[in-house]
Structure 1
Amino acid sequence: MNFTKTVPFFFILLFFSNCFDNMTSGNLLLAPKDWRSEIIKFPLEFAPSLSYSGLEHIRFSPGWGKKDAEDHFSYVFLWEIDQDPKLTSKKLEAELETYFDGLTHATPKSEIDTKTKAFFEKVNDSLFVGKILTYDSFTTKKEVNLNVKVSSSYCYNENKHLVLFHLSPQTLDHQIWKKMNTISIDLDCD
């Protein structure tokens, strides 16, 4: 065996295997580099009654966990799911109340007695706007009121339903919404 031929082959193989891993495990939400990334598999551990299969892709703003930051608790997440969520205002309200109550109680030493309340209005067949009154058990340990935009679509090429959430305590005219609106989904869905 020729050592000088084997070593370069090994590095090429290693390089391509790393590329493959990044392609298959990457976050579908394209965001600036300073936005933290997370991917969670359904069923969600903190909200197992949301009966979907698929993935949740999350992008947290740089100041998400900083209580005095302008972009505190501002983030975008995508449900890439197999089932048609058949969204209505009432269904979104119930599912996001379950989701945020689960998050609140999933935090260690969380003895919060408050319940999340969500309110949504349908703008058109694929867009809802609303408000979520919940609790920040991560940083401030206080109630937080989130403005929310939810859009849904179907990706034919992937055979997946996509539900995209934008959330922030800031009003919809604040600069953080412009930043969140630039976050896109990295899928070819034509």
Structure 2
Amino acid sequence: MSHLFFTFLTLLLADQQPHKTDGSTTAEMDVLTAPQGWRKERIGFPLGFAPTLPYTGFEDIRFAPGWSDEKAEDFWSYVFVWYVDHDPQLNTASLQRHVKLYFDGLMETSDAQVVISSNSDPVDYVGHVVAKDAFFTQDKMQLNFTVRISECAAQQKYLVLFRLSPQKPQHAIWQALNQVEPTIDCAHPAEP
């Protein structure tokens, strides 16, 4: 539980850390842009809470202003991107395994339930995860999410972009989540 306290403290202080967006190096630049008031955090792979995720690179995160307020409409609403060095070669089954590893570690559980389906585009996915909220309420919650995978040819990197909220996709928070975009110009990988 001590890493949860550290993570929470990091989230509270993350907005006070300087971040460059001039594109000088990926270690210094923000990969995501978000509206004013969103908190940010960056975690390098391997992730401390999910070290078996098979990536190198980092995770860049943006938290909605009410992310930690269980009475707010944007409670637990956030966006993160895995900025990775190699093609993640994700499909529905592997993405489901990776999301489960991520949330089992984040929530210090082993029973996160993940449901993912492919959208009309083979690199877009929708789904939800049901897990115990180990940060705030200690109750089970469902987070709905979308995933978009892009190749950044100029940088020789890949983006795996997640948007998450307990709110249904019709809720206004999804408009705000969709405003959080990569700062890097990337395209979808070519279909086989």
- State the TM-score, normalizing by the size of structure 2: 0.81
Question: What is the identity, as a one-letter code, of the residue corresponding to 1:74?
Answer: S
Partner of residue 157 from structure 2, selected from 148, 151, 160: 160
Q: Is the 8 A contact 2:150 2:186 kept in 1?
A: no
- The answer for unaligned runs of 5 or more in structure 1 is 1-17, 106-111
Question: What is the identity, as a one-letter code, of the residue corresponding to 2:169?
Answer: L
Q: Is the 8 A contact 1:93 1:117 kept in 2?
A: no
- Distance in 1 (alpha carbons) for counterparts of 2:157 and 2:29: 16
Displacement of 1:177 after TM fit? 0.2
SS at match of 2:94: helix
Partner of residue 106 from structure 2, selected from 103, 107, 111: 103
Task: Summarize the Cα distance change of 1:89–1:34 in structure 2 as closer, same or farther, 3 Å threshold.
Answer: same
Counterpart of 2:78? 75
Matched, 1:174 2:171: yes
Question: What is the identity, as a one-letter code, of the residue corresponding to 1:50?
Answer: L
Displacement of 1:20 after TM fit? 8.9
More helix by proportion, 1 or 2? Answer: 1
Alignment of 1:11-50 (within 5 A): 24=25, 25-50=28-53
Task: Summarize the Cα distance change of 1:19–1:61 in structure 2 as closer, same or farther, 3 Å threshold.
Answer: closer
- The answer for unaligned runs of 5 or more in structure 2 is 1-18, 188-192
- State the TM-score, normalizing by the size of structure 1: 0.82
Q: Is the 8 A contact 2:20 2:30 kept in 1?
A: no
Over 6 Å off, 4+ runs: 18-22
- Distance in 2 (alpha carbons) for counterparts of 1:153 and 1:178: 20
- Any idea what the Cα deviations from partners look like across 1:104-148, whole Å, max 9, x if unmatched? 12xxxxxx5x61010100112210001111121111111110111
- Across the aligned residues of Structure 1 and Structure 2, the Cα RMSD in angstroms comes to 1.9
Counterpart of 1:145? 142
Counterpart of 1:121? 117
How many pairs are equivalent? Answer: 166
SS at match of 2:42: strand
Larger Rg: 1
- Distance in 2 (alpha carbons) for counterparts of 1:63 and 1:19: 25
Question: What is the identity, as a one-letter code, of the residue corresponding to 2:144?
Answer: N
The percentage of counterpart residues that share the same residue type is 41
Question: What is the identity, as a one-letter code, of the residue corresponding to 1:119?
Answer: V
Matched, 1:183 2:180: yes
Q: Is the 8 A contact 2:20 2:29 kept in 1?
A: no
- Distance in 1 (alpha carbons) for counterparts of 2:105 and 2:114: 14
